[in-house]
Amino acid sequence: MIPFLDLTRQHAALKGELMAAAERVLDASQFVLGGEGRALEAELAQLCGARHAVGVGSGTDALRLALTGLGVGRGDEVLTPAFSFVASATTILMAGATPVFVDVQPDTLTIDPEAMARALTPRTKVVMPVHLYGHPAAVDRIAAFAQARGLAVLEDNAQALGATWGDRVVGGWGDAACLSFYPTKNLGACGDGGMVVTTRDDVAERVRRLRHHGDTGRYQHVELGYCSRLDEVQAAWLRVKLRRLGEWTERRRHIAARYLAGLAGLPLRLPVERPGARHVYHLFTVRHPQRDALAKRLADAGVGTAVHYPRAVPDQPLFAADGERRWPEAYRAAREVLSLPCFPEMTDAEVDGVIDAVRRACEDLG
Ligand SMILES: *Cc1c(COP(=O)(O)O)cnc(C)c1O
């Protein structure tokens, strides 16, 4: 059996350090908005090349609070890809605004800059590129497009911490970016957590206030805020893991290179790494016209897989748009994508086992 993901391996290896970090927090007994959170904020701001980072309760809250921090509210439109995790769109609704779906580029499944230009209206306020699966969206073109029209860019960087586009780390291209520490992400907490990174002083200040009841200090509540902070135990654990992120990313890239060599020549569409991009392979996602049959054969061979995602976002019951013609690439992706096991603790023998199973399944399917 080769699992799709096995987090117990990571935690067994780090257990001593994680327990020591938890003990430090217990001894200090300051559980929210303390020193561990501030230290993690400084470390991640530096990694993303941004001036500020603000820890919050989840990646979803990071997007929602960043949107409000960028001044998005009722009557505004935000451009978001038609293919992503659902939170890239629902957070726009939570902020009181309207998501406007844009189709994705077929090679990376990230927002299509040309389709984005066509979706623009006088109400457009923000564009939200998602660095899906760990590959950067075309952020240079998107940032130039936004700047020329006075729009803000909010990067959904939940899946691509440490990826680069050109000479810059993603999360440092836009006005602000969100990070998610959902347990399965490349830097995963042992629970929920998220962060807003930004170079804009005004956005950082607003998000700091929004995460803590709209408080400017000493119980002065100047606006409707929320209760969404990153707690100290998670921050301390994330700091332990952050020290490994570089080597984990190298390991993900090694696994991906092994897959790309071993799966070449099959009737599969393999992930690409565009020139100028450094992919961090949060997911290694292939495409096959008979995706469900392929997944079934792999399951029978003892290989775990997952589908990210089985529906285009506007096709979710929540939105129920009739959108096959408007966002054809997103709808096609939803029928074809299949993620293979790709986590740093996998052995090379397991990677080779997946390659063999995929080769046999493809022969079977003809
Ligand atoms: C995980 C994820 C989120 C939400 O993060 P949570 O921490 O789970 O709230 C948002 N966008 C994308 C693309 C994600 O993968």
Rounded to the nearest 5°, which phi and psi values hold at 81?
-65, 145
- DSSP designation for 166: T
User: Which ligand 1 atom lies nearest to the CA of residue 88?
Assistant: 11
Q: In this predicted structure, what is the pLDDT of residue 344? A: 98
CATH architecture of 7-102+109-242: 3-Layer(aba) Sandwich (3.40)
Angstrom distance (rounded) from CA 76 to CA 73: 6
Taking the centre of ligand 1 as the mean of its atom positions, its distance from the CA of residue 229, in whole angstroms, is 16
Q: Is 59 in the pocket of ligand 1 (CB under 6 A)?
A: yes
For Cα atoms 103, 104, 106, give the angle at the middle one, nearest 5 degrees. Answer: 130
Q: In this predicted structure, what is the pLDDT of residue 320? A: 86
Residues 13/314, Cβ–Cβ less than 8 Å:
no
Q: Which two tokens stand for residue 327?
A: 């966002």
Taking the centre of ligand 1 as the mean of its atom positions, its distance from the CA of residue 86, in whole angstroms, is 8
Rounded to the nearest 5°, which phi and psi values hold at 266?
-85, 160
Taking the centre of ligand 1 as the mean of its atom positions, its distance from the CA of residue 359, in whole angstroms, is 32
Query: Taking the model in full, what pTM does it have?
Result: 0.97
Q: Which two tokens stand for residue 103?
A: 């189709």
Residues 66/265, Cβ–Cβ less than 8 Å:
no
Question: Which CA distances in Å does 77 have to 73, 119, 146, 325?
Answer: 9, 10, 14, 21
Q: In this predicted structure, what is the pLDDT of residue 322? A: 85
Residues 274/135, Cβ–Cβ less than 8 Å:
yes
pLDDT along the chain (366 residues), means of 10: 98 98 97 97 96 98 98 98 98 98 98 96 98 97 96 98 95 96 98 98 98 95 97 98 98 98 97 97 98 98 98 96 93 98 98 98 92
Q: In this predicted structure, what is the pLDDT of residue 270? A: 98
Could you confirm whether domain 245-365 is CATH 3.30.465.10? Answer: no
Q: Is 68 in the pocket of ligand 1 (CB under 6 A)?
A: no
User: Which ligand 1 atom lies nearest to the CA of residue 193?
Assistant: 7
- DSSP designation for 173: S
Angstrom distance (rounded) from CA 205 to CA 53: 10
The preferred substitution site among 84, 180, 192, 226 for testing ligand 1, maximizing ligand atoms within 8 Å of CB, is 180
Question: Peptide bond preceding 259: is omega within 30 degrees of 0, i.e. cis?
Answer: no
Nearest CA to ligand 1 atom 13: 85
Beta strands 194-198 and 124-127: pairing type?
A: unpaired
Residue 219: how many other CB atoms lie within 10 Å: 7
Q: Which is nearest to 76 in space by CA: 58, 91, 95, 52?
A: 95
Q: Do domains 7-102+109-242 and 245-365 have the same CATH topology?
A: no
The preferred substitution site among 58, 60, 86 for testing ligand 1, maximizing ligand atoms within 8 Å of CB, is 60
Beta strands 337-340 and 284-287: pairing type?
A: antiparallel
Instruction: Tell the residue number behind the tokens 């291209």, with chain if given.
Output: 173
Angstrom distance (rounded) from CA 360 to CA 122: 53
Domain ranges of the chain: 7-102+109-242, 245-365
Beta strands 194-198 and 277-278: pairing type?
A: unpaired
Instruction: Tell the residue number behind the tokens 């897959």, with chain if given.
Output: 259
